[in-house]
Structure 1
């Protein structure tokens, strides 16, 4: 099966929790419009009211997206925190907060900062005095959306540093191939292969030094070449790899090679 046969894969629940994308050109406009409809949705009391509601978002999931909703359920984020976080994002997007996200976060009350912290499951309260623009910006995006301003393959979320595979600028073909190859994987196995594929593109990050991609991450040939190198390395080190691990890795990378062909 080649990449032409795997377009428009629907992510399963595990994949959805790890699905990260860049906010598109209309993201903020669409969010504000959806939030306004959410706020003004009339309660169902007649067939006319029901018709109005059916044409507009009536739940936070419609506004915040499936990945946010999945992660909120996994983390046990309270309904109050979800509602309060959506309101904070709407303010940021409506009042120019994304032009200077650090300043916007500084303007929040301690209670509001706590909402942002819990929405992103941060272990400690965040410190805006040491936060980068990227770190602040990503705190003001719902789970499932991130930016990577310096294109180092690492997204800062507050003080946290997270890696994503496929990268935010990966071709759609690569994203679809990844969804097809990992469709039946458990969470940990998918994360392991994502980590290996990320290292394939960016190498090993040492001492949190900013790195650049070893090959253009927006070109499919970079992924084809990387997978071929993985397969060659597997054969070279076959004698020193446990048989079951070799079989699993061989199957996965062979599948990726076929899907990217």
Structure 2
């Protein structure tokens, strides 16, 4: 899947303001205040260059390394192998990257991350998910919906022509999906396929999510 030049422009048009979330993420990545300021200056420097790869090529080696640090990349940035989305997201603030080609993954540099809730999900579902997951550790949040993209693409690689994003449609019915998951959890517990503790955790989360969606 590819992204349009308009999508890239939409992303690079609003990248210069760093939110508290972005700054906190960069500090967690051991970036100094000076390095954070340098990253913000980089975003301001390239905001009029609407081709993300060209924007990256305009940076010095030192500036590219600051971009690498901002996004916590292990390897140096190799612009020649980046997808349009991977390049564009390097020029966005950490924590605000986007799934531009709607494949269910967020590509940052060369890396792919599962995106959930999906970028195209309704604001109401995103708010409900945030409410249901508030205060929970990553380990306590059920993964049925989070890993749906990966499970739908076993044996495939991102970029394959037959890659599937279950959440691609803007009309995807999240409420119905949650109801189906609850039925599945009930079935697994009733057939001794799930412990009572896991059953309780799953049902508590999905019941809260259902109420938040109401």
Do they superpose with TM above 0.5? Answer: yes
Would the aligned equivalents of 1:202 and 1:214 in 2 still touch at CA under 8 Å?
no
Matches within 5 A, 1:168-183: 168-183=119-134
Equivalent in 61, 77, 89 of residue 110 of structure 1: 61
Partner residue, 2:208: 255
Residue 196 of structure 1: SS of its match in structure 2?
Answer: coil
Q: CA RMSD in A?
A: 2.5
Residue 185 of structure 2: SS of its match in structure 1?
Answer: helix
Residue 31 of structure 2: SS of its match in structure 1?
Answer: coil
Equivalent in 233, 245, 249 of residue 198 of structure 2: 245
What is the alpha-carbon distance in structure 2 between the residues aligned to residue 168 and residue 209 of structure 1?
Answer: 17
Equivalent in 146, 151, 154 of residue 102 of structure 2: 151
What is the alpha-carbon distance in structure 1 between the residues aligned to residue 98 and residue 130 of structure 2?
Answer: 21
Partner residue, 2:4: none
What is the alpha-carbon distance in structure 2 between the residues aligned to residue 23 and residue 134 of structure 1?
Answer: 8
Moved over 4 A (4+): 22-27
Partner residue, 1:35: none
Equivalent in 196, 205, 215 of residue 144 of structure 2: 196
Cα offset, 1:226, TM superposition: 1.1
What is the alpha-carbon distance in structure 2 between the residues aligned to residue 188 and residue 75 of structure 1?
Answer: 22
What is the alpha-carbon distance in structure 2 between the residues aligned to residue 205 and residue 216 of structure 1?
Answer: 14
Cα offset, 1:90, TM superposition: 0.3
* 73-82 vs 203-212, greater mean Cα deviation: 203-212
Whether 2:31 is the aligned partner of 1:77: answer: yes
Q: 1:72 to 1:28 in 2, by over 3 A?
A: same
Would the aligned equivalents of 1:120 and 1:139 in 2 still touch at CA under 8 Å?
yes
Q: Which structure has greater helix proportion?
A: 1
Whether 2:165 is the aligned partner of 1:213: answer: yes
List gaps (5 residues or longer) in structure 1.
1-21, 33-62
Q: 1:26 to 1:75 in 2, by over 3 A?
A: closer
Would the aligned equivalents of 1:68 and 1:143 in 2 still touch at CA under 8 Å?
yes
1:189-210 per-residue CA deviation (whole Å, 9 max, x = no partner) reads 34xx3x4323346743334234
Would the aligned equivalents of 2:118 and 2:167 in 1 still touch at CA under 8 Å?
no
What is the alpha-carbon distance in structure 2 between the residues aligned to residue 250 and residue 71 of structure 1?
Answer: 32
Matches within 5 A, 1:2-17: none
Partner residue, 2:13: 28
List gaps (5 residues or longer) in structure 2.
1-6
Cα offset, 1:152, TM superposition: 0.5
Partner residue, 1:13: none
Q: With the length of structure 2 as denominator, give the TM-score of the two structures.
A: 0.84
- Which structure has more relative contact order (CA 8 Å, sep 6+)? It is 1
1:35-83 per-residue CA deviation (whole Å, 9 max, x = no partner) reads xxxxxxxxxxxxxxxxxxxxxxxxxxxx300220221232221112101
Equivalenced residue count is 202
